[in-house]
């Protein structure tokens, strides 16, 4: 899978892709992540990428020209399944959307910034709009990193069997069961006996039961 991220503040996107699972996915060449600096596509001598809003107010607005130029240059070499815009008024991200996006070959993720983006970008260049929650971030970069992490971990080969994404919370609409590690007794706080019994079938049943209990208590909406 190839992910091209377009950003006005690309340095904000560096570290999430340089460590741990996301780094390994790239080293293994399962995913290619390219970060594009919108400023490199500015169409004027001042290298600006934003302008005042027509009609006044609203602060600076990201201009359509550099975005169009950047997307057009990416499309010269690649067919994209989706051109996604990160925005608080987009469709709320959930596991189902991440699962669907993880099946794609190529996606573009555009990060918004400042007060907004020329609406014509959304009307003509974007195929999907995603929010990571009902709150406003200073820009779409952190949201894009969240989206990419949730997608990349689902691509076969990124996680090994033990950490398989199939056992993540929200797969099957259930929260993941609690987990414990050594020591089995710490300050008399004991690990449930069943987990040290070695009985695989009973452990599996216990985990399912705890998943159900936890979901019923914390997120009953998922069970509907
Ligand atoms: N950009 C700013 N806030 C955002 C949010 N909540 N989700 C996605 N992109 C955003």
Between CA 21 and CA 13 the distance in angstroms is 15
Domain assignment present for 187: yes
Query: In whole angstroms, what is the distance from residue 94 CA to residue 127 CA?
Result: 18
Nearest to 74 by CA among 104, 47, 40: 40
pLDDT at 200: 97
The answer to whether 170 and 94 have CB atoms below 8 angstroms apart is: yes
CA distances from 97 to 13, 91, 102, 160 (A): 21, 9, 9, 22
Give dist(CA 133, CA 168) in Å, integer. Answer: 19
Q: Assess whether the C-beta atom of 143 lies below 6 angstroms from ligand 1.
A: yes
Query: Does residue 127 sit within a domain?
Result: yes
Q: Work out the angle at residue 176's Cα, subtended by the Cα atoms of residues 174 and 177, and round it to the nearest 5 degrees.
A: 115
With respect to residue 198, please indicate whether it lies within any of the assigned structural domains.
yes
| Residue that is written with structure tokens 């995603």 in the block | 130
Residues 17-31: tens digit of each pLDDT: 999 999 999 999 999
Q: What is the pLDDT of residue 162?
A: 57
Confidence at residue 168, expressed as pLDDT on a 0 to 100 scale: 83
Do 10 and 99 fall into the same domain? yes
Q: Mark which of 152, 185, 200 sits at the end of a domain.
A: 152
Torsion region of 157: left, alpha or beta (phi above 0 gives left; psi -120 to 50 gives alpha): left
| CB 88 near ligand 1, within 6 Å | yes
Please, which pLDDT band fits residue 113 given cuts at 50, 70 and 90?
Answer: confident
Kindly state whether residues 39 and 121 are assigned to the same domain.
yes
Mean pLDDT of all residues in 42-59 = 92
Domain check: are 111 and 72 in the same one?
yes
Average pLDDT for residues 91-100, to the nearest whole number?
A: 97
Examine the pLDDT at 210 and tell me if it is beyond 90: yes
What confidence category does residue 92 fall into, taking pLDDT thresholds of 50, 70 and 90? very high
- Decide whether any atom of ligand 1 lies within 6 Å of the 133 Cβ: yes
Tokens 């190529």 label which residue?
A: 106
Full-model pTM: 0.94
Are 152 and 31 in contact, with CB atoms under 8 Å apart? yes
State the closest ligand 1 atom to the C-alpha of 140, by its place in the atom list counted from 1: 1
Ligand 1 centroid – CA 38 distance (Å): 18
> End of a domain among 125, 152, 179?
152
Position 167 scores a pLDDT of 77
Angle at 170 between CA 166 and CA 173, to 5 degrees: 105
> Pick from 152, 181, 211: which residue ends a domain?
152
Same domain, 213 and 126: no
Structural domains of the chain, count = 2
Domain containing residue 57:
2-152
Q: What percent of the chain has pLDDT over 90?
A: 90
215 with 175: CB under 8 angstroms? yes
108 lines ligand 1 (CB under 6 A): no
Peptide bond into 15 cis (omega under 30): no
What integer is the mean pLDDT of 76-89?
97
CA separation for the pair 77, 72 (Å, rounded): 9
| Shortest-distance atom of ligand 1 to CA 133 | 6
Q: How many residues does the chain have?
A: 224
- Closest listed residue to residue 129, CA positions, set 113, 153, 112: 112
- What percentage of the chain carries pLDDT values higher than 70? 98
- Across 1-6, average pLDDT: 98
Same domain, 120 and 207: no
Find the CATH number of the domain harbouring 55.
3.40.1280.10
Residues 118 and 185 in one domain: no
Whether residue 99 is found in the same domain as residue 22: yes
Which pLDDT belongs to residue 166? 76
* Average pLDDT over the chain, rounded to an integer: 95
Write out pLDDT tens, residues 129-175: 999 999 999 999 999 999 999 999 999 999 986 567 877 888 889 99
Can you give the CATH number for the domain in which 189 is found?
1.10.1270.20
């Amino acid at each position: 899978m190839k992910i091209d991220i377009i950003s006005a503040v690309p340095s904000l996107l560096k570290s999430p892709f340089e460590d741990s699972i996301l780094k390994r996915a790239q080293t293994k060449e399962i995913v290619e992540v390219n970060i594009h600096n919108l400023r490199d596509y500015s169409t004027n001598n001042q290298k600006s990428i934003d302008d005042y809003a027509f009609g006044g107010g609203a602060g600076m607005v990201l201009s359509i020209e550099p975005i169009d130029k950047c997307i057009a240059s990416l499309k010269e070499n690649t067919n994209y399944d989706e051109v996604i815009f990160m925005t608080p008024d987009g469709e709320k991200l959930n596991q189902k959307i991440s699962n669907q996006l993880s099946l794609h070959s190529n996606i573009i993720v555009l990060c918004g910034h400042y007060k907004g983006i020329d609406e014509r970008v959304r009307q003509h260049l974007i195929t999907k709009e995603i929010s990571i929650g009902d709150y406003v971030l200073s820009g779409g970069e952190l949201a894009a990193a969240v989206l990419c992490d949730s997608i990349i971990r689902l691509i076969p080969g990124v996680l090994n069997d033990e950490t398989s994404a199939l056992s993540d919370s929200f797969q099957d609409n259930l929260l993941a069961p609690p987990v414990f590690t050594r020591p089995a007794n710490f300050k008399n706080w004991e690990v449930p006996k069943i987990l040290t019994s070695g009985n695989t079938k009973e452990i599996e049943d216990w985990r399912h039961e705890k998943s159900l209990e936890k979901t019923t208590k914390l997120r009953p909406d998922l069970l509907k």
